[in-house]
């Protein structure tokens, strides 16, 4: 019966991994529906600390099946490395299922990601260079190769011969790099296919069965709403649909089935890569947040850009996804600040606006209008009930609820499962 989607509401890295790892305890099925190895979901639990790129964060519970849906682009190399690492840490990975419809990231995708970024020069997007954009381009261009194709070696050879011919023209004639070898890629992907075969299947019947049995299904969003190909800060976005709507097409499920959409918001804002970010703090305060919170990318290790909470952007994400509730993460990061700012509007071209602009050039010119709230200057990491939070922290949470017009159901005060306050029941 219950179907819950966990969706990033900012520019990614909101703490989705922690929230999913927590909620997955009760889940029967945990599903990734979009993105690829550009995601880096940190999970800290009794098995250790993990940065998951493709395997859903529910993998740590013995009763939970994990599914990589058709909307994901899969790098077999990254996935196999991740599985090996999990197995080394004695995590049972036998309950993983990969949709045969999911598209593969091929060596030319990672290479083109790098070459395209270099060619953009000062207009580089700051991609993770994991080949995600080029793989989605091929999917839409009907030039993709799918996970299911790994199971038919002859068919794979013929498809790869056709696609690689075009890619090699692009690589040699446009980018001036040497062509890639058909034989080598085919050999490598046949080996990947042999190793991944036990996990590859038709995933639709699994989801249908779970729905019929009334099991709890958890959608694990990747990236964030402001990186969405349609609703994000285009062109500084990823190539998939991280919004909740992406879950239906990324898995093959009707929107009528969803029961609860949980947005994940950090108590402040971060962004990694290029593009506008109105509340970015370039000075000492931004650096303080980065140091206190260790804001470095889980996938690329790049320093994340840090700034105050942007309620204009968060309200937009809340509307686009129809959040029923929010998980507010990393409240503890603000523990030491004497005062905390929240952006409630933007000043642009002499006007004051409260709508999130649809144009990145306009957003780039937006100056944040701040409201200043008192800090609490004491540790919250050990607190487990809303009423135990210092009054200024309670006021901060309540003010954010008002500004985004959505209840905050979960408050996270540390990276561990138990460092969580359930302020309101989900469902
Ligand atoms: P995701 O991509 O949305 O899963 O987020 P990331 O894993 O990329 O980044 C979130 C980071 O915040 C990780 O290092 C988490 O361990 C950490 N984290 C999550 N929740 C909290 C919290 O409430 N407090 C603190 N201090 N860290 C947290
Ligand atoms: P999780 O799931 C933060 C960003 C990249 C870049 C832009 C495009 O961990 O929240 P891409 O490689 O997707 O073509 O890069 O999107 N990006 C993320 N930023 N968290 C992520 O995932 C991201 N996935 C992509 O930094 O700006
Ligand atoms: Mg991340």
Ligand 3 centre distance from Cα of residue 242 (Å): 13
Nearest to 104 by CA among 145, 70, 137: 145
Ligand nearest to the CA of 224: 2
- CB-ligand 2 contact for 383 (6 Å cutoff): no
- Residue 376, Cβ neighbours under 10 Å: how many? 22
Q: How does pLDDT run across 164-186, given as a tens digit for each residue?
A: 999 999 999 999 999 999 999 99
Q: How does pLDDT run across 342-395, given as a tens digit for each residue?
A: 999 999 999 999 999 999 999 999 999 999 999 999 999 999 999 999 999 999
Tokens of 151: 């199971």
Closest atom of ligand 1 relative to the 414 alpha carbon? 24
Ligand 1 pocket: which of 10, 11, 15 to mutate (most atoms <8 Å of CB)? Answer: 15
d(CA 15, CA 420) in angstroms, rounded, equals 12
Smallest CA separation from ligand 1 atom 26, residue: 414
d(CA 55, CA 96) in angstroms, rounded, equals 8
Distances (CA, A) of 262 to 80, 312, 317, 323: 30, 18, 11, 6
Active site residue 186: no
Closest atom of ligand 2 relative to the 127 alpha carbon? 15
- Which whole number is the average pLDDT over 139-143? 98
Closest atom of ligand 1 relative to the 44 alpha carbon? 16
Tokens of 24: 């997955």
- Residue 137, Cβ neighbours under 10 Å: how many? 15
Closest atom of ligand 1 relative to the 294 alpha carbon? 14
- Which whole number is the average pLDDT over 78-91? 97
Ligand 1 centre distance from Cα of residue 290 (Å): 12
- Which whole number is the average pLDDT over 399-416? 98
User: Which residue(s) pair with 374 in the sheet?
Assistant: 339
Tokens of 100: 């045969």
Closest atom of ligand 2 relative to the 298 alpha carbon? 9
Ligand nearest to the CA of 235: 2
Global model pTM greater than 0.75: yes
Nearest to 266 by CA among 373, 129, 135, 408: 408
Q: How does pLDDT run across 226-262, given as a tens digit for each residue?
A: 999 999 999 999 999 999 999 999 999 999 999 999 9
d(CA 76, CA 74) in angstroms, rounded, equals 6
Half-sphere exposure of 410 (CA within 13 A, CB side): 29
- Stated as kind and residue range, the H or E segment containing 100 is none
Alpha-helix residue ranges (DSSP H) falling in 268-410:
284-293, 311-321, 360-365, 391-404
State the average pLDDT for the chain. Answer: 97
SS (H, E, C) 217-230: EEEECCCCHHHCCC
Question: Of 13, 28, 228, 310, which one is the catalytic site residue?
Answer: 13
Q: How does pLDDT run across 254-311, given as a tens digit for each residue?
A: 999 999 999 999 999 999 999 999 999 999 999 999 999 999 987 788 899 999 999 9
Which protein residues are within 6 Å of ligand 1, measured from CB? Answer: 8, 12-18, 40-42, 44, 298, 329-330, 332-333, 412-415
Smallest CA separation from ligand 1 atom 20, residue: 415
Ligand 1 pocket: which of 9, 17, 332 to mutate (most atoms <8 Å of CB)? Answer: 17
d(CA 4, CA 247) in angstroms, rounded, equals 11
Which pLDDT score, from 0 to 100, does residue 33 have?
A: 98
Ligand 2 pocket: which of 127, 228, 236, 305 to mutate (most atoms <8 Å of CB)? Answer: 127
| pLDDT confidence band for 1 (50 / 70 / 90) | low
Percent composition of the chain: helix, strand, coil (DSSP 3-state, to 5): 40, 20, 40
Question: Of 28, 41, 310, 332, which one is the catalytic site residue?
Answer: 41
**Strands 200-201 and 96-99, how do they pair?**
parallel
Which residues 6+ apart lie within 8 Å of 191 measured at CB?
A: none
Looking up tokens 């990589």, which residue turns up? 68
d(CA 214, CA 299) in angstroms, rounded, equals 35
| Measured CA angle at 262 (ends 293, 400), to 5 deg | 60
Active site residue 41: yes
């Amino acid at each position: 019966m219950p179907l819950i989607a966990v969706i990033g509401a900012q520019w990614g890295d909101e703490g989705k991994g922690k929230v999913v790892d927590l909620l997955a305890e009760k889940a029967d099925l945990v599903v990734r529906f979009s993105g690829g190895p550009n995601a880096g979901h940190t999970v800290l639990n009794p098995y250790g600390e993990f940065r998951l790129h493709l395997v859903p964060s529910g993998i740590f519970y013995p009763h939970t099946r994990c599914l990589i849906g058709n909307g994901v682009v899969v790098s077999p190399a990254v996935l196999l490395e991740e599985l090996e690492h999990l197995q080394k840490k004695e995590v049972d990975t036998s309950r993983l299922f990969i949709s045969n419809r999911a598209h593969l990231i091929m060596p030319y995708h990672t290479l083109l990601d790098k070459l395209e970024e270099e060619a953009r020069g000062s207009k580089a997007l700051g991609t993770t260079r994991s080949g995600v954009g080029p793989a989605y381009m091929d999917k839409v261009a009907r030039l993709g190769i799918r996970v299911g194709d790994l199971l038919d070696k002859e068919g794979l050879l013929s498809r790869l011969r056709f696609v690689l011919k075009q890619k090699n023209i692009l690589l040699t004639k446009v980018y001036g790099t040497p062509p890639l070898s058909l034989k080598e890629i085919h050999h490598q992907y046949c080996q990947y296919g042999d190793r991944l075969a036990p996990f590859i299947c038709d995933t639709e019947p699994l989801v249908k069965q779970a729905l019929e049995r009334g099991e709890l299904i958890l959608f694990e969003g990747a990236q964030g709403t402001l990186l969405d190909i349609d609703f994000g800060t285009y062109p500084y976005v990823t190539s998939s649909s991280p919004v909740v709507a992406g879950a239906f097409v990324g898995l093959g499920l009707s929107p009528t089935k969803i029961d609860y959409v949980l947005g994940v918001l950090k108590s402040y804002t971060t962004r990694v890569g290029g593009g506008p970010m109105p509340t970015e703090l370039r000075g000492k305060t931004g650096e303080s947040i980065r140091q206190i919170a260790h804001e470095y990318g889980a996938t690329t290790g790049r320093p994340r850009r840090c700034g105050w909470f942007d309620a204009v952007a968060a309200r937009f994400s809340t509307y686009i996804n129809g959040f029923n509730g929010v998980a507010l993460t990393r409240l503890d990061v603000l523990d030491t600040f004497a005062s905390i700012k929240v952006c409630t509007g933007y000043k642009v071209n002499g006007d004051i606006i409260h709508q999130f602009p649809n144009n990145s050039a306009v957003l780039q010119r937006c100056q944040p209008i701040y409201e200043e709230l008192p800090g609490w200057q004491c540790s919250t990491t050990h607190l487990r009930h809303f009423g135990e939070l210092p009054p200024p922290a309670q006021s901060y949470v309540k003010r954010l609820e008002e500004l985004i017009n959505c209840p905050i159901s979960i408050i996270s005060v540390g990276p561990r499962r138990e460092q969580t306050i359930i302020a309101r029941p989900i469902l």
